[in-house]
Structure 1
Amino acid sequence: MEERYDFNAPIKGTGFGYTLSLIGGKYKMVVLYALYIYEDPIRYNQLKRMLGTISFKTLTNTLKELEHDLLIHRKEYPQVPPKVEYSLSEKGLSLIPVLDAICYWGEGQLEKK
């Protein structure tokens, strides 16, 4: 018989818990996928337009968290007005197959409706 996960056991410190700490939250996966789809480095306002309903504060906080976790690169150009571009890091790119799997699963479920 297949062994099941004990949901009373803490997931902190597991691979699953670590992954959730990186991509958990309302907009992290969406931001990562948007950066992947766009391919080139993207400026803040372009990203904001792509995502639509996200507030400026939420986007700023999400980008800071993703940068802190080394999932994205933030490149600041020393000019006036300041120019900042965002792109996926290698670590961020390594999450794309996980996000793709989530997409494929969702598409399969939509077909069954």
Structure 2
Amino acid sequence: MNKDFIKDPFFLECPIRNVLARIGGKWTLAVIYTLGGSETPLRFKDIERANPDCSQKMLTQTLRGLEADGLICRTVYPEMPPRVEYALTERGRSFLPVMR
């Protein structure tokens, strides 16, 4: 691989590079697909059951990253015990047609 290409300023600002940085995680697309297949928001355990090979730690990191990128929204309900639900945002839903 030509290392000069990587130092090229056009490569550093490449839009595809930005997209892959957001969705390139091992579990990112699986979580987006899981949330996209549900009509209602899902709780953490529902997402975990749908992706049994993903550890709790990795799922938490993936959900936090997706929330930070604006692809999912996290809703916390003031109940005891606390209830947290996850759903795709419009931006997150825009990935679904490409994935199917």
Range into which the TM-score falls when normalised by the shorter chain: 0.7 to 0.9
d(CA) in 2 for partners of 1:16, 1:75: 30
d(CA) in 2 for partners of 1:84, 1:66: 15
**What one-letter code is carried by the residue in structure 1 that aligns with 2:5?**
N
d(CA) in 2 for partners of 1:17, 1:39: 31
Structure 1 gaps, min length 5:
1-6, 101-113
d(CA) in 2 for partners of 1:88, 1:71: 6
Shift, 1:57, TM fit: 0.6
**What one-letter code is carried by the residue in structure 2 that aligns with 1:80?**
M
Shift, 1:14, TM fit: 1.4
Shift, 1:40, TM fit: 1.2
Structure 2 gaps, min length 5:
none
Deviation string for 1:9-36 (max 9, x for gaps)?
A: 4543211011101110100000001100
Q: How does 1:51-66 map to 2 (within 5 A)?
A: 51-66=51-66
Aligned residues: 94
Match of 1:87 in 2: 87
TM-score normalised to structure 2 length: 0.87
Match of 1:109 in 2: none
Shift, 1:83, TM fit: 0.2
Deviation string for 1:24-61 (max 9, x for gaps)?
A: 01000000011001231000001100111111111000
